[in-house]
Structure 1
């Protein structure tokens, strides 16, 4: 998976990248009532314009991305000065209120997530094969404080083919199975099937369970 992902960015095979802000983010983020100034974690962020939308609404953003090409394209296509620094094992660049951490999401630890108060996943879960998704859901839960919220967008195929991907078919039952041990999971909407691919998007609100501090 790691090599395939890097090859896609290197070769420009990024049909999954949207050239606009995801409409589900615009519709549903305000419903989460996440206060301004809350830092938002965006795992496997690519060069998503959703990060700029969040930043423009007073949310500092911390995106984690394996591909250096994706990160360099994001800052090249943006405006403003770029600062660069290192926090092992990540190379970090910052443009405005968006920080991009280049490295493996599973190497991002709770001591690096002290300021994280929300998350947004449009393309992380569905980029991971079945064997890795449970690890992802557990790791995300370790990074998000109790009571904090996030938005998740999943994809499912009418054929239910779990082998084809990425993006992978992740049905509603699996979303609940993965996240309900640590999150309150609320289904918000299902989109229309995409012509050609047969994918249907589903949107979820997640609230981290646990005692509030």
Structure 2
């Protein structure tokens, strides 16, 4: 490529290449307080589609990958569910626990470099480790998964590896709500990285059925500042495929 190739703005407001960000790269952004991706309120798509996840069930076990200090976790606890989060940056875990005034224990992970934080007052566990090091043997399996932008934040080259990990954590009747975006990454370096329904079927379709639940124009002044011409929020419900039976079909 020539030296005058146009450099694209990333979501942090500079021109560093974000396409292969590691945990250390995210830590640097947290240290600089470049965490505008953190929402100060419950994600509206989670509120709107919680019923599609829980199906009237109570005391479910939720997994939230790349959870940061998401207030969604506290909200799900208030709904009576158990929550397990995975976050690569220790500052995110610490700030969540401190801001919610939670007493906790901390212990090293056995299978990889990391720390397990367990709340002493609620069914919350946070795994501070690289999500790509997480194993089913560490965390078990889940009734529900809420992906609030994790799939579109990881490097696109690692999507299959990520999907394989997520699928391994799904119980047979798990319901997985995936929030992702459509945008032009030739105008904007990301993250997020654009994700189509075809992309989701490519990485999850061998094991799961995928259904679009919602779509809306999510363009705000923030996204306009990125120089993009469109920004669409899409939400998908993902379920493990059942073994086929004569005359049977998947009931959403």
* TM-score by shorter chain over 0.5: yes
Instruction: Please name the residue that 1:191 is paired with.
Output: 216
Whether the 8 Å contact between 2:89 and 2:128 is mirrored in structure 1 is yes
Find the aligned partners of 1:63 and 1:176 in 2 and give their Cα distance: 25
User: Match for residue 204 of structure 1?
Assistant: 236
Q: How far did residue 162 of structure 1 move?
A: 8.5
Does the aligned pair in 2 maintain the 1:34–1:149 contact within 8 Å? Answer: no
Does structure 1 residue 127 correspond to structure 2 residue 153?
yes
1:86 paired with 2:90, answer no
Query: Retained in 2: the 8 A contact 1:162–1:169?
Result: no
Asked whether 1:66 is paired with 2:88, we answer yes
Asked if 2 retains the 8 angstrom alpha-carbon contact of 1:92 and 1:99, the reply is yes
Q: Any gaps of 5 or more consecutive residues in structure 1?
A: none
> What CA distance in whole angstroms lies between the structure 2 residues aligned with 1:162 and 1:178?
25
Would you say the 8 A contact 2:42–2:75 is kept in 1?
yes
Following TM superposition, the consecutive aligned residue runs of length 4 or more in structure 1 with deviations greater than 6 angstroms are none
**How far apart, in 1, do the equivalents of 2:155 and 2:215 lie?**
22
More deviation, 163-172/125-134 = 163-172
TM-score, normalising length: structure 2: 0.78
For the residues of structure 2 that align with 1:43 and 1:151, how far apart are their CA atoms? 12
Could you tell me the TM-score, scaled by structure 1's length? 0.91
Q: C-alpha distance in 1, partners of 2:239/2:102?
A: 34
Contact kept, 8 Å, 1:67 with 1:103, in 2: the verdict is yes
Name the structure 1 match of 2:190.
165
Is this contact kept in 2: 1:65–1:71, CA < 8 A?
yes
Say if 1:119 and 1:150, in contact at 8 Å, map to a contact too: yes
**Cα separation, 1, equivalents of 2:194 and 2:141:** 32
1:37 lines up with 2:64 in the alignment? no
Aligned residues: 211
Across the aligned residues of Structure 1 and Structure 2, the Cα RMSD in angstroms comes to 1.9
Kept in 2: contact 1:34–1:118 (CA 8 A): no
